[in-house]
Chains A and B, each alone.
Chain A
Amino acid sequence: MDEFDEELDTSGLTCPMPILKAKKAISSLLAGQILRVIATDPGSLKDFQAFAKQTGHELLEAREDNQIFYYLLKKREP
């Protein structure tokens, strides 16, 4: 089982909602804490990589299991 501090389920939502909701959710975390995001949008795989690259939050894991995507984002230092 993955370890995380907060979980966000964006199942059923399309672009850009998973990213917008993830941005909000990660804002309320402390540096170093981990957000798990669940998504069904197939485009989210590339989007979360770009999100991490651009914002500096670390994408610890991105995996697909039966058309459901799971992401672990670690909040960056301020």
Chain B
Amino acid sequence: MAKKKLAIIASRGTLDWAYPPLILASTAAALDYEVRIFFTLYGLKLLEKKLDLRVSSLGNPAMRTSLPIMMRTLPGMEMLTTQIMKGKMKKKGVVDVEELRGLCIEAEVQMIACQMTIDLFEFKRTNLIDHAKSGGAATFLEFAGMSDVNLFM
């Protein structure tokens, strides 16, 4: 039986949004899917060797917090929100992003770093994990066109 294929575009680089593409990719690989993720725009942050992912309550009205909007703009609030989120995740047994990314790599999830974004945001190729190969839209579409599931995140 031919392997099923999952193609994901990961475009976000916050701590919370790091999870959906990595959870689905690692799980699909465990279910014998062939998986590729195209990291574009802020998604490229997920490929940095040293992960520095944050989450902010600013511009994120769905996040449950009792803080008034003005308070959310204060310096250090992003750091605080990130710490609170990380603490909560640890307590609830949510896997660490870096560990999850490692499991994806181990499961042979292919990762493509958007070349245009690397140039645009002046990412250093040496700061990205070696597992990621750079490529463009056509590289991704070649696989996406044959995939059973295509997701944009």
A residues contacting B by CB (< 8 A) are 12-17, 19-20, 22-23, 50-51, 54-55
Contacts and interface: CB of A to CB of B under 8 A. Distances in A.
Contacts of A55: 30-32
B75 interface: no
Contacts of B31: 50-51, 54-55
B87 interface: no
Nearest to A16: B27
21 contacts: A12-B93, A13-B95, A14-B92, A14-B95, A15-B23, A16-B23, A16-B27, A16-B30, A16-B95, A16-B100, A17-B93, A19-B27, A20-B27, A20-B103, A20-B107, A23-B30, A50-B31, A51-B30, A54-B31, A54-B32, A55-B32
Interface residues of B, number: 13
Interface string B67-95: 00000000000000000000000001111
B28 to A, nearest CB: 9
Contacts, number: 34
A14 B27 contact: no
Interface of B: 23, 26-27, 30-32, 92-95, 100, 103, 107
A19 B33 CA distance: 14
Contacts of B93: 12-14, 17
Contacts of A22: 30
